[in-house]
Structure 1
Amino acid sequence: MDSIENFRLFDFLHHLKKLPAKSDTLAAKENGVWRKYSTDEYIDTVNALSYAFLDIGIQRGDKIGLISNNRPEWNFIDYACSQTGTINTPLYPTISEHDLKHVIGDADIKYFFVANEEIYERVKSCAANSSVIEIFSIPKIKGLRNIQELIAIGKKNPQVEKLEAIKKSIKNSDLATLIYTSGTTGNPKGVMLSHNNFVSNVLACKDLCPFESDWRALSFLPLNHVYERMLSYLYISRGMSVYYAESLEKIGENLKEVKPHIFVTVPRLLEKVYEKIVATGTQLEGIKRVFFFWALKLGLKYEQHGANGWWYEFQLKIVNKLVFSKWREALGGNIVAIVSGGSALQIPLARVFHAARIKILEGYGLTETSPVVAVNNYADENIMIGTVGPIVSNVQVKFSDEGEICVKGPNVMMGYYNRPDLTAEVIDSDGWFHTGDIGTLVDNKFLKITDRKKEMFKTSGGKYITPQITENKLKGSRFIEQAMVIGENEKFPAAFVVPAFAFIKTWCEKHNIPYTNSFDIIKNEQVRARVMKEVEIVNKDLSQHERIKKIELLSDEWTIEKGEMTPKLSLKRKIILNGNKDAYDKIYRSENAL
């Protein structure tokens, strides 16, 4: 697969036929046992589901909502959509009702596939009086047609000629999917990605690692996100096996069972792995404990290309045999590389994993760029810790006068669905997509992200947080005067809150709580608990990853005069963060941090 001339997503399956047949092209646990799908069964199932789409009246161009965990059926639905000309519109299982209703209406979704009864009830409620014609289930749910019934329909009535005619008519420039991502307007935006967007990015990343057809990949990041989805297409294009983890909680077990050669992740999960390793090390005694912390100390000092000298490299060789070898065994023993994206990876973390001969390939991209713009490669000369790697082959990058990263290439989205106005804001007349991120090139080769032009940020789990929306909701409380959501590259979102002291004083009098001044009252546990109750009310309307886990109350209001706000009364976030480092550390660096 070296050309993308009218190569469509479903052509990956045709390409797969040319590679050695496998008994485990896809695999997932069913009742505690790995259920494996051979190459032929995979392709036959996709075709049968496609025939069923045609048989039950699903039309080309129809939007099909998909809310499911990672599983083989996700792929069956995705490829059936791609080769029938229907538009896969995948959503997070944790999507809020507000956002779900918006997406159903905005995309004009006609059909839904759901992974469980709880999701079905939410979709049914939000789809009332909407365009949705029918909801299908993946497992059996009473009252719904499930995917196995549809596959049976397709097998009974294979409409081969009709399907082939549709496939021939689909161009690689056609819309393949709508991926909804959070926007500053309060409603998610539908990112339109074509077949060509994905295929071009797969080609750009095909030499990321020395992929072999006998490799196994473990998949656990949500497939509805462009990151895991593009890598899934890449795995299939190389003839690799894809195993789906049972859950985030069972990744450790699944790593040992599957023994994968590669997986993609976000920094937060690597942090958890590291934290678990360190916790295990602290329980060791005697010489084992000494060796463990010697290894850890060496790892945190790691420099690339032997820059620390022969003595360091000699010591590192010893601890790799005695200590780090056990780290690699915990990951299954076959790991060639781990790809990290979604947010910035802590440099010390990258150092210690590289020292342990576990290559972390950090990359950068956005939903709008399908996603990869730059990524560190497996080859040592194409890795630089602290950067997101070289620009991929078929993508161009330039920097605006402000240093904003601008991207042009076949991976750049078609635009935002139903929002030409928002599309025009980010894609200029010359076709450059303005990312909103600030960066620079190191050694004229490696892209380094240095700042965020836009206020939206990601947690270390790779989830977007749009702070203004939550802040505005918090300020709707009588108890809260000002609020600033924080947590970029941290485990969870939190908030600085300036209470509405006049109202707090009245409330305190009513509840016989002594009120002296703002500095003292923010320490009062009853007041803190009451303000947190207001935060929890706001949390109910937020998606799970957006919910505020902790707050710190501040005694002084932010003002224009102190330089904390602009004349438009917008928050100057960096100045507020710098002025409240102690409060920030109390949330994220204290012993009680989550």
Structure 2
Amino acid sequence: MKRTSQFLRHSISREDRADGAILLRSTHGLGPVVDKTSDWLHGWAKEAPDRVFLAERSGAGWREESYSSTLQKVRLIAQSLLARGMGADTPILIMSGNGVDHGLLALAAQYIGVPVAPVAEQYSLIHGAHGRLRQAIELLQPTMAYVVDADQYGEALKLDALEGVEIVASRPGNIETVTTFDALLQGDAGVDLDAANGQVGPDTVAKILMTSGSTSAPKGVLTTHRMMCVNQTQLADGLPFLRDRPPRVVDWLPWNHVFGGSHNFNMMLANGGSFYIDDGKPVKGLFDRTLENLSMVTGSLVFNVPVGFAMLRDALEKDAALRQRFFENLDLLFYAGASLPQDVWQSFEKMAIEVKGEVPLMTSSWGLTETAPATMMQQEPIGRSGVVGVPMNGVTAKLIPDADMRCEVRVKGPNIMPGYYQDPEKTKEAFDDEGYFITGDAMVFVDPDDVNKGMKFDGRISEDFKLLTGTWVRAAGLRIEMLACLAPLAADLVVTGQDRDEIGLMIFPDRDALAAAGFTLEEEDGALTCPKLLSEIHHRLNERSGRVSGSSTRVARAIVLAEPASLTEGEVTAKGNLNFRKVLTGRANLLKRLYDDAASGIAKL
């Protein structure tokens, strides 16, 4: 099967230490790294001034900013910030989602060493989530906050925590106290902009990215220019085609998250690419907008989460013209967040071959907000999902295996954070005595005898639990298996059983799938009680039970939750992932019901 994309072959050294730890390193050297993000912007504004860098929908078409216009506007905004006396100790809070003005402001701040702190727009737009926004404001103590539309974000702008903070809006509405974004574009010739830019270096903080706060108040990850610039060199070292021709994306992934806002945004900036902002999302009611955008512009790289790829697969199979446009210049399909279902993977391979006779590189990587993010990558072609690859150039991975060769992962390298904002205690806890960042993630070798085959993600150490028998349950892997077992009925689920004698499931249903399958949606005390639905779940669990052995993998009971996971209650993180602990504690009555053999509305083997 021919593939279009060039890649760097894995070449990993392995060191087995006397203390049981395994060290993995790439034998390839790290390529040249720029000092700061403005080096990329200046370089491409000189080499390709008229090429589109940032674009967003505007009416029937696109508002496009070239590299030269981006640099011009970034410098004017940076002048305005500098004239206000802003610097390393005056963060800018960005409360809105992806947008051209958001991107310009972020680059302008980075140009003079002012940290930007983008937060999930849901925290501002949903009343019940304002507590999360307030936590971020109290931690950051920003000098300026940006929103795209002051009327749309009006309720959040009235928070007492923002008193004294300068509010900037692209559309100020009727609020006279708001600074217009156009005012920032007036600049100020009285400041020495070039001197300020000259003071910015690899260790300057570019961003403060908020973690999801699943077990405590959110932490601010200090993200330096070095981290972001090194990471783009690591990515281009592994994927040389990024340097061969300017990449292009049509991308929706949120910029408050490290994947969309650092990995994807900077990949375009570092390689002279074009970032078309997709204002759709892979959810009902918004995915049609994504398809409309793709009918106008398609990318050479496509990044998405598995559910987004599944929806896109269905649309491409129905639309031959879109399918042709989508695949004809495609170099890379990159999934993140979870493993891509194998049937979806195979569908994309089949369509790619039909359109152009070859398959783009289909792959994934692994990393965290604290690692900028990419730290391991599967840069060689592979025929299946679920493999996150090997350490990238410049990274050392320290693996601490258990008796089953399931390895806790710790990492060291120039893309790793220096620490958490204003939190020396949490910073100290984050690193071991050798300076390795403790990720909390677990992995297993694809082939223990060949490290170049890569590794598979095997869940969070903290998500594992013991049954009453003392048997460990690897919850992350089991969750993925059960989602496949219960597809398409389950949109998501939580694996239960800690300090109990059986594994159970708390299922968040896909209501559209249930309706399409003819299941009724009657409920009782927070759970769906349709006998036909419970019977179907019982049948699938029973059928699976005959194929597995041992209490660590046998799922014996399930309950279907009537209410969706709540962002305002913290059951959903800013990244859209379930916060399992919040679900279990917030729905303790339903968890108790799940293990009550006399209760109604459960499926039990």
With the length of structure 1 as denominator, give the TM-score of the two structures: 0.69
Q: Which has the larger radius of gyration?
A: 1
**Aligned counterparts of 1:26 and 1:539: Cα–Cα separation in 2:** 30
Once the two structures are superposed, residues 528-579 of structure 1 have per-residue CA deviations (whole angstroms, 9 ceiling, x without a partner) of 46999996797643476459799995786659xx9xxxxxxxxxxxxxxxxx
Structure 1 residue 3 corresponds to structure 2 residue 32: yes
Q: Is the 8 A contact 1:252 1:331 kept in 2?
A: no
Distance 1:583 1:141 in 2: 56
1:352 alignment partner AA: S
In structure 2, what is the equivalent of residue 177 of structure 1?
A: 207
Cross-structure match for 2:399: 399
The match for 2:452 among 434, 445, 449 is: 445
State how many pairs are aligned: 464
Aligned to 2:470: none
Say which SS state the counterpart of residue 233 (structure 1) adopts. helix
Q: Are residues 1:21 and 2:49 paired?
A: yes
Say whether 1:125 aligns with 2:129: no
* Bigger Cα displacement from structure 2, 419-428 vs 405-414: 419-428
Cα distance change on mapping 1:440 and 1:226 into 2, 3 Å: same
Q: Give 2:297's aligned residue.
A: 258
**Distance verdict in 2 for CA 1:389–1:530, change over 3 Å:** closer
Q: 1:177 to 1:235 in 2, by over 3 A?
A: same
2:412 alignment partner in structure 1: 408
Correspondences of 1:121-520 after superposition (within 5 Å) = 121-126=154-159, 128-130=160-162, 132-143=164-175, 144-152=178-186, 154=187, 157-159=188-190, 162-207=192-237, 208=239, 210-211=241-242, 212-229=244-261, 230-248=263-281, 249=287, 250-276=289-315, 280=318, 328-329=323-324, 331=326, 333-356=328-351, 357-377=359-379, 380=381, 385-402=385-402, 403-442=407-446, 443-455=450-462, 492-494=491-493
Amino acid at match of 1:166: A
Distance 1:540 1:438, change over 3 A: closer
Does structure 2 retain, via aligned residues, the 8 Å contact 1:110–1:131?
no
Contact preservation (8 Å) 2:334, 2:362: yes
Query: Secondary structure of the equivalent of 2:376?
Result: strand
Identify the residue that residue 105 of structure 1 maps to in structure 2: 138
1:267 partner amino acid: P
Q: Share of identical aligned residues, percent?
A: 21
Q: Given the superposition, is the C-alpha separation of residues 174 and 65 from structure 1 closer, same or farther in structure 2, using an over 3 Å criterion?
A: same
Q: Which residue of 1 aligns with 2:548?
A: none
Q: 1:528 to 1:90 in 2, by over 3 A?
A: closer
**Residues 263, 339 of structure 1: 8 Å contact kept:** yes
Describe the superposition over 1:176-233 as per-residue Cα deviations: whole angstroms up to 9, x where unpaired. Answer: 1110012343311111111101111010001425124444221211112111222221
- The answer to which of 193-202 and 171-180 deviates more is 171-180
Are the structure 2 counterparts of residues 267 and 200 from structure 1 closer, same or farther at C-alpha, using a change threshold of 3 Å? Answer: same
Change (3 A) 1:554 1:436: closer
3-state DSSP of counterpart to 1:445: helix
Letter in 1 for 2:312: V
1:87 to 110, 115, 121: 115
CA contact (8 A) 2:55 2:100 kept: yes
Over 3 Å counting, the alpha-carbon distance change for 1:371 and 1:56 in structure 2 is: same
Determine the C-alpha separation between the residues in 1 that align with 2:55 and 2:169.
20
Deviation track 1:413-442 (CA, whole Å, cap 9, x = no partner) reads 111222222222221121111211111333
Counterpart AA for 2:308: L
SS at match of 1:196: helix
> Is 1:64 the counterpart of 2:92 in the alignment?
yes
What residue in structure 1 maps to residue 17 of structure 2? none
What code does the residue aligned with 1:394 have? G
- 1:101 deviates by 0.6
Q: Give me the whole-angstrom Cα distance separating, in 1, the residues matched to 2:157 and 2:322.
A: 46
8 Å CA contact 1:67, 1:114 repeated in 2 = yes
- Equivalent residues of 2:151, 2:172 under 8 A apart: no
Larger RCO: Structure 1 or Structure 2 (Cα < 8 Å, ≥ 6 residues apart)? 2
Residue type at the aligned position of 1:445: N
Distance in 2, Cα, partners of 1:401 & 1:395: 19
| Shift of residue 369, structure 1, vs aligned partner | 0.6
User: Structure 1 residue 375: deviation in Å?
Assistant: 1.8
1:41-85 CA-to-partner distances (Å, cap 9, x unmatched) read 110000010011122343442110002222221221111111121
Matched residues in 1 for 2:45 and 2:567: separation? 48
Measure, in 1, the Cα distance between the counterparts of 2:322 and 2:389.
Answer: 25
Distance 1:534 1:268, change over 3 A: closer
Q: CA deviation at 1:36?
A: 1.6
Could you give the per-residue CA deviations for residues 64-120 of structure 1, whole angstroms, max 9, x where no partner exists? 000222222122111111112111000111122111111101111121001224653
In 2, distance between residues paired with 1:164 and 1:25? 22
Whole-angstrom CA distance in 1 between matches of 2:161 and 2:264: 37
Write the distance in 2 (CA, Å) between the matches of 1:231 and 1:190.
Answer: 20
2:102 to 74, 97, 106: 74
Q: What is the one-letter code of the residue matched to 2:227?
A: N
Q: Residue type matched to 1:388 in 2?
A: V
Tell me, yes or no, if the aligned pair for 1:23 and 1:36 is still in contact at 8 Å. Answer: no
Structure 1 unaligned segments of length 5 or more: list them: 282-324, 458-466, 468-483, 499-522, 563-579, 585-594
Name the amino acid aligned to 1:258: V
- Note closer, same or farther for the CA distance 1:388–1:355 as it changes in structure 2 (3 Å cut): farther
- Whether contact under 8 Å (1:97, 1:122) holds in the other structure is no
Q: Compare 130-139 and 202-211 and name the one that shifted more.
A: 130-139
1:527 and 1:103 map into 2 onto residues whose CA distance is 35
- 1:358 shift after superposition: 4.5
Distance 2:78 2:213 in 1: 33
Q: Is the 8 A contact 1:179 1:224 kept in 2?
A: yes
Distance 2:602 2:233 in 1: 44
In structure 2, what is the Cα distance between the partners aligned to 1:112 and 1:365? 29
